[in-house]
Amino acid sequence: MSSFYRFLSLFFGALIASSASLSAAEGGAHKLPLGAEKLHDAFPATNSMVMVWITTLIIVLFCRAAAGKLSMVPVGFQNFAEWLIEGLYNFFGGLLGDHLIKKTFWFFGGTFLFILINNWLALIPGVGTVGMDIHYEGGGKGFLSFMRGANADLNMTSAMSVVFMVCWTFWALKENGLKGFVSHIFAPKGKFQGGMLVGMVVVFFMVGILEVISILIRPIALSFRLFGNVYGGEQTLESLMHLVPAKLAFLPALPFYFIEILVGLVQALVFTLLAAIFLALICDHGDEEHH
């Protein structure tokens, strides 16, 4: 195992060092801008969109490879694919229940893999550092990277959060109905009588207003949490790589590089886990069973 880790360290170290050398040759350290940048005025695509396309292609090829030659007894790549999908299905099924997971796994499983692959692709040496110097119309200079981590773009994380909230609203209304949806938020929980009932109606109505505010904040929190962690990690690696000469740039960044691999997995899990919990809370029927 020690030789394996030594090989990984040397391999990634060489890649990071070569990336840093290219970046230094093109003008030294380049701070990752907050927003994604257009690659060309005539081509309406940003450098983060390139990574989204690559991630989508990887997922498509993964599905085709897994389902290309199906057998009753899975072997090889099919065995790995079924283990992965079944593991995700059981994990989210434990949160959502058998009824909901059958309807929603396409979203949670797909979103988890999409975020995870995007996070890991962003760690490939050269992403965010390989590009070209550009000159602005006002006379200033800048650096345009050819590729940028998709989740380091607030547009991408916001889009995923908005899509989730649209799906969340649809699933919540379908499971509860309009009356059940409203009562789930505003109606008193428990059995009360007389004056206590009146008081609880007022209290739970005020709590419902706070719940509505919380629901409206959820997409903002989801998008900024994912964006902030990924963007901050990339900025940290970029800064560490320029603390020493280019040929030794991999030394301070290498330990954090492997930490960011773990962070990429955790952030994909956190986003989808919170989304699943939000759905489970609104669709919680207590001891009532679905038929």
Distances (CA, A) of 115 to 156, 160, 263, 264: 10, 10, 12, 8
Q: Name the token pair of 139.
A: 């006379």
pLDDT string in tens for the chain (291-residue length): 444 344 444 444 444 444 444 444 444 445 677 777 777 777 778 888 888 999 999 999 998 888 878 777 777 888 889 999 999 999 999 999 998 999 999 999 999 999 999 999 988 877 767 767 776 666 667 667 777 888 988 889 999 999 999 999 999 999 988 888 888 888 777 676 666 667 777 777 888 889 889 999 999 999 999 999 988 888 887 777 777 776 776 677 777 878 888 999 999 999 999 999 999 998 876 544 444
Question: What pLDDT does 17 receive?
Answer: 44
Burial of 280 (0-12, 13-18, 19+ CB in 10 A): middle
- DSSP 8-state symbol, 150: G
Q: Name the token pair of 37.
A: 């940048």
DSSP H/E element including 72: none
Q: How many domains in the chain?
A: 1
Q: Is 185 a member of any domain?
A: yes
Question: What pLDDT does 213 receive?
Answer: 92
Q: Is 171 a member of any domain?
A: yes
30 in Cβ contact with 268 (< 8 Å) = no
Place of tokens 């119309």: 137
Q: Is 129 a member of any domain?
A: yes
Domain that holds residue 118: 2-282
Q: Is 152 a member of any domain?
A: yes
Question: What pLDDT does 272 receive?
Answer: 95
Q: Is 234 a member of any domain?
A: yes
Q: Is 288 a member of any domain?
A: no
256 in Cβ contact with 236 (< 8 Å) = yes
Question: What pLDDT does 26 receive?
Answer: 41
Q: Is 290 a member of any domain?
A: no
Q: Is 246 a member of any domain?
A: yes
